[in-house]
């Protein structure tokens, strides 16, 4: 894996998608007629794309206009046609694909390999710490490639993909990923300081897109979360985009506990979700460190698309009182809590603490792409499959109205593709510039 035994893997392409075959055939025919670049045929997904290349070059290679990271691409996809009484051909614009955010590293790219290795060693020493819980020296931050000059606190700018349509083209398909990950929950299952405790700090995810911070939990000292028992979950705020599983995904925890006698490091380290055979069941990863044992429950999604949810109260007293869960099936184990009225006060528009869920696109054309939303009363058990009101939104539906207890609720969903872009050149440079002594980072072991 990256920084361990191999370089980053290329985008997996060619997976089965639902598109209008006639439109796709017409688009392919138009491509062949206008294709003047053999390079596109040989390497449509050049993984070593350089961050210094200009947009015109990227447009030529990808066959689509470049747009800035995080921008929303056009919302309509047409199909080219030739009118019987008009000689001029109508040209259809392809949906824009978010381009790689080639931000920093201009100076780093000019360093020699030896200079970059020395800088990496110095950076890693800064967060190699003795974990008192296990009496081991561990790396408390991500360092699976050369991090010399890499801003570990910078937030990822990669945004949502383009809207999902029935006539997705093969060109767009080549940028769609095969696996994504949903974060079901994060719990403090053991505390050396007992309960209740006031916890603050961050939990971030890093994936192959850019290895930058995708925040899952982020609280300042002035706004800690009270954890009353081992069953309490951290109130997550993300991810705000799909977590792409092409290589390992890294979850970096830096939590502190607030106390009258002074604050203490509570949980520090990195948890790795390794790429492996697809498993439809939720996966548990554990970080036992400093004063705690933290448990992450994750779910891999095959052939994923993103469902972004909104909920609005149509009838009944606002705010909505209860919990809202979202997931990939009726099974509560695949569902995550996205709203809890005990923590969130809202009016007619229910403010979800996180609104994105990756859902699978089945291979069978008869199966539906669907997101499941469940409404629960305050006293309902989230693990009880029969509790609450379950709503399924099946693509291409964009909204559904349901009744739960005293409320009439409207659920809206936006369907978008989950994309990845070939890695920028500096990412590959970092992957091949690891000093031998650091090729296998010593992350905190799982217990």
- For the stretch 326-385, pLDDT in tens is 999 999 999 999 999 988 766 667 999 999 999 999 887 778 999 999 999 988 999 999
Buried b (16+ CB within 10 A) or exposed e, 183-219: bbbbbbeebeeeeebbbbbbbbbbbbbbbbbbbbbbb
Averaged pLDDT, 386-411: 95
pLDDT at position 140 is 96
Q: Give the helix ranges, DSSP H, for 170-291.
A: 170-173
Q: How many CB atoms lie within 10 A of CB 55?
A: 12
Higher-confidence residue of 196 and 99: namely: 196
pLDDT of residue 184: 97
- Of the candidate ranges 147-151, 184-188, 320-324, the one whose mean pLDDT is the lowest: 147-151
- Beta-carbon contacts of residue 413 (< 8 Å; ≥ 6 apart): 307, 308, 309, 310, 371, 393, 397, 398, 399
Q: Residues 268-278, buried b or exposed e (16+ Cβ, 10 A)?
A: bbbbbbebeee
The pLDDT-based confidence of 423 (bands split at 50, 70, 90) is low
Q: Which of 243, 246, 238, 240 is nearest to 274 (CA)?
A: 246
- The answer to whether 330 and 390 have CB atoms below 8 angstroms apart is yes
Structure tokens at 155: 């937030």
Q: Does the pLDDT at position 39 exceed 50?
A: no
State the pLDDT at residue 343: 80
Mean pLDDT (whole number) for 271-275: 91
Mean pLDDT of 247-251: 93
Q: What is the mean pLDDT of the chain?
A: 79
Termini Cα distance of the chain: 22
The residue to which tokens 């490639």 are assigned: 145
Structure tokens at 101: 């955010």
Q: Is the pLDDT confidence value at 230 over 70? A: yes
Q: What CA–CA distance (Å, rounded) separates 294 from 290?
A: 11
Question: What's the topology of domain 160-176+303-420?
Answer: Immunoglobulin-like (2.60.40)
Average pLDDT, integer, range 174-183: 91
Question: For residue 391, is pLDDT > 90?
Answer: yes
323-327 and 335-340 as β-strands: parallel, antiparallel, unpaired? antiparallel
Distance CA 231, CA 78 (A): 50
> How sure is the predictor about 425, in pLDDT bands with cuts at 50, 70 and 90?
low
Query: What's the confidence (pLDDT) of residue 290?
Result: 97
pTM for the full model? 0.79
Query: d(Cα 168, Cα 17) in Å, to the nearest integer?
Result: 8
Q: Which helix (H) or strand (E) holds 257?
A: strand 249-258
Backbone angles phi, psi at 114, to 5 degrees: -65, -40
Q: What is the pLDDT of residues 297-314, one digit of tens each?
A: 999 999 999 999 999 999
SS3 assignment, position 223: coil
The band of 15, judged by pLDDT with boundaries at 50, 70 and 90, is very low
Q: How much is the pLDDT for 107?
A: 63
Instruction: Tell me which DSSP letter residue 230 carries.
Output: T
The whole-number average pLDDT for the span 117-123 is 92
Q: 225 pLDDT band (50/70/90 cuts)?
A: very high
- The CA-atom distances, in angstroms, between 374 and each of 41, 134, 270, 309 are 46, 40, 32, 12
C-alpha torsion angle, residues 79, 85, 88, 89 (rounded to 10)? 20
User: Does 21 have pLDDT greater than 90?
Assistant: no
For residues 179 and 304, the answer to whether their CB atoms sit within 8 Å is: yes
Q: Does 97 have pLDDT greater than 60?
A: no
Q: What is the pLDDT of residue 10?
A: 36
C-alpha distances out from residue 104 to 198, 249, 399, Å:
36, 22, 40
What are the two backbone dihedrals, phi and then psi, of residue 139, each rounded to the nearest 5 degrees? -90, 120
For residue 168, the model assigns a pLDDT of 64
**How many Å apart are CA 407 and CA 113, to the nearest integer?**
62
Q: Report yes or no: 260 and 131 within 8 Å, Cβ to Cβ.
A: no
Is the CA virtual torsion 13, 17, 22, 24 positive or negative?
Answer: negative
How many beta carbons lie within 10 A of that of residue 331, not counting itself?
13
Say how many residues make up the chain.
447
- 327-341: per-residue pLDDT in tens? 999 999 999 999 999
């Amino acid at each position: 894996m990256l920084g361990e035994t191999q370089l980053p893997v290329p985008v997996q392409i060619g997976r089965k998608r639902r598109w209008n075959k006639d439109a796709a055939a017409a688009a392919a025919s138009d491509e062949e007629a206008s294709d003047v670049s053999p390079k596109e045929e040989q390497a449509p997904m050049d993984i070593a794309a350089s961050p210094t290349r200009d947009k015109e070059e990227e447009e030529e290679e990808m066959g689509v206009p470049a747009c800035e990271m995080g921008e929303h691409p056009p919302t309509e996809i047409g199909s080219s046609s030739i009118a019987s009484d008009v000689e001029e051909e109508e040209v259809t614009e392809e949906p824009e694909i978010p381009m790689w955010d080639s931000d920093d590293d201009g100076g780093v790219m000019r360093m020699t390999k030896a200079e970059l290795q020395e800088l990496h060693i110095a950076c890693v020493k800064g967060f190699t710490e003795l974990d008192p819980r296990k009496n081991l020296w561990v790396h408390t931050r991500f360092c699976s490639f050369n991090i010399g000059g890499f801003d570990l606190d910078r937030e990822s700018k990669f945004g949502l993909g383009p809207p999902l349509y029935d006539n997705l083209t093969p060109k767009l398909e080549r940028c769609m990923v095969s696996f994504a990950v949903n974060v079901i929950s994060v719990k403090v299952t053991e505390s050396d300081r007992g309960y209740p405790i006031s916890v603050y700090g961050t939990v971030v995810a890093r994936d192959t897109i850019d290895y930058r911070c995708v925040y899952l939990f982020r609280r300042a000292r002035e706004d800690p979360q009270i954890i009353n028992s081992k069953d309490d979950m951290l109130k997550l705020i993300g991810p705000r985009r799909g977590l792409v599983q092409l290589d390992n995904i890294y979850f970096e925890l830096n939590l502190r506990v607030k106390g009258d006698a002074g604050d203490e490091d509570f949980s520090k380290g990195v948890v790795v979700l390794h790429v492996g055979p697809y498993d439809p069941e939720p996966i548990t990863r554990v970080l036992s460190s400093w004063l705690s044992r933290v448990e992450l429950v994750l779910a891999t999604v095959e052939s994923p698309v993103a469902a972004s949810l909104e909920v609005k109260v149509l009838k009944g007293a606002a705010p909505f009182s209860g919990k809202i869960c979202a997931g990939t099936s009726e099974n509560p184990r695949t569902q995550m809590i996205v709203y809890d009225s005990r923590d969130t006060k809202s009016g007619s528009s229910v403010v979800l603490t996180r609104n994105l869920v990756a859902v699978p696109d089945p291979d069978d054309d008869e199966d539906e792409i669907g997101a499941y939303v469940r409404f629960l009363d305050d006293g309902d058990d989230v693990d009880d499959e029969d509790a609450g009101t379950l709503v399924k939104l099946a693509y291409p539906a964009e909204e559904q109205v349901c009744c739960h207890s005293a409320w009439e609720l409207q659920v809206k969903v936006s369907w978008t593709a989950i994309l990845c872009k070939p890695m920028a050149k500096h990412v590959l440079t970092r992957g091949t510039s690891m000093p031998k002594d650091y090729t296998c980072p010593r992350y905190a072991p799982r217990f």
